Structure 1
Amino acid sequence: MASVYVPPVQKGFGQLVDSLFLLVLVYCSLLGPLLLKAPDKQPDQPQAATGHVSWQTLGQNPTMQAQWQKLGYNAEQAKPIITTRFDYVVEPGSLIVTALVIVGYFVFVLRVSEKQYRQVIAEKFGE
C-alpha cells in the first residue's frame, strides 16, 4: 500500500518571497512596454491648416458628441484623438519573447510540480 501523501507546507517567509516575486513580475510586465516604447512616428501626411472643427466634420453623431462632452472634450480637443490612426503593428521580437516566457513558465510549473502530481496519483489510484 502506498504511503499517504502529505503535501509540503510552505513557511510564511516562502509565501512572502513568492508574493513579492509575483508582484515584481506584474509590475515589470506593466512597466516594460512603457520603457521599451518605440519612438513616435511622424505623420505621413502634413496636417491641414486648423479651421473650424465641428462634430459633423469629425463624423460624430449626436450620441457620440454627448459622450465626448461627458468626458470633457469639445470638438477641437477631440479632433486629434478621433483623427489619429492607431498603430497595430506586431513586433516579431516582442511576440517571440512573450511566447517564450509563457511557454517557459508553463514548462517550469510542470517540472517543479511533477513529483507532487505523481505522489497524489499514486495515493489515489494505487499506482
Structure 2
Amino acid sequence: MAADYVPPVQKGFGQLVDSIFLLVLVYCSLLAPLLLKTPDKPPEAETAKAHVTWKELGQNPAMEAQWRKLGYDAQQAKPIITSRFDYQIEPVSLIVTALVIVGYFVFVLRVSEKQYRQVIAEKFGETS
C-alpha cells in the first residue's frame, strides 16, 4: 500500500521572506505613479487673477460649506474645481504593466506545472 502523501512544508523564514517581498512589490506599485507623475503648472498664475466667488465656480451653499470644512476658500478651491481629470493612456506604462502581468502569469503557470508534476510523481510513482 502506498504511503500517504505529505506535501513539502515551507519554513517560517521562507514565509517571512515571501511576505516581505510581496509587501515591497505592492508598496512599489502604489508609489510608482506618484514618482513618475510630471509636475503640474504652478498655481501662482491662477491666484493672481481677480477674486472668484463660489457662484462663479458653480457651487451651491451646501457645496461651499463642505469646501470651507476642508479649509478652502473660493480662490484656493478654484484650481481643484476647474481642473479636468486626465484620462489619457500612456502607451509605455500600459505595455510595461501588461508585460509584468503576463510575465507573472507565465511564471506562476510554469512553477505550478512543475510542482503539480512532482506531486503526481510522488503520489503515483509516475515520472513525466
TM-score range, shorter chain: 0.7 to 0.9
Query: After the TM superposition, which parts of structure 1 deviate over 4 Å for at least 4 consecutive aligned residues?
Result: 46-49
User: Where does the alignment leave 5 or more consecutive residues of structure 2 unmatched?
Assistant: 124-128
Q: Is the 8 A contact 2:47 2:75 kept in 1?
A: no
**Counterpart residue type for residue 112 of structure 1:** V
Secondary structure at 1:31 match in 2: helix
Match of 2:126 in 1: none
**Aligned pair in 2 of structure 1 residues 63, 2: CA closer, same or farther (>3 Å)?**
farther
Match of 1:69 in 2: 68
Shift, 1:21, TM fit: 1.0
Mapped partners of 1:80, 1:23: distance in 2: 35
Q: So what's the TM-score if we normalise by structure 1?
A: 0.76
**Counterpart residue type for residue 27 of structure 1:** Y
Shift, 1:57, TM fit: 0.3
* RCO comparison, higher one (Cα < 8 Å, 6+): 1
What count of residue pairs does the alignment treat as equivalent?
Answer: 120
> What are the Cα deviations for residues 17-42 of structure 1, in whole angstroms up to 9, with x where unaligned?
11121122112112222222235368
Match of 1:114 in 2: 113
Match of 2:50 in 1: 51
Match of 2:17 in 1: 17
Mapped partners of 2:50, 2:68: distance in 1: 20
Mapped partners of 1:30, 1:81: distance in 2: 23
**Aligned pair in 2 of structure 1 residues 110, 5: CA closer, same or farther (>3 Å)?**
farther
**Counterpart residue type for residue 24 of structure 2:** V
User: Where does the alignment leave 5 or more consecutive residues of structure 1 unmatched?
Assistant: none
> What are the Cα deviations for residues 31-83 of structure 1, in whole angstroms up to 9, with x where unaligned?
222222235368xxx85962231111001122221221221111111111111
Mapped partners of 2:58, 2:103: distance in 1: 47
**Aligned pair in 2 of structure 1 residues 32, 2: CA closer, same or farther (>3 Å)?**
farther
**Counterpart residue type for residue 90 of structure 1:** I
Mapped partners of 1:52, 1:2: distance in 2: 85
Matches within 5 A, 1:25-44: 25-40=25-40
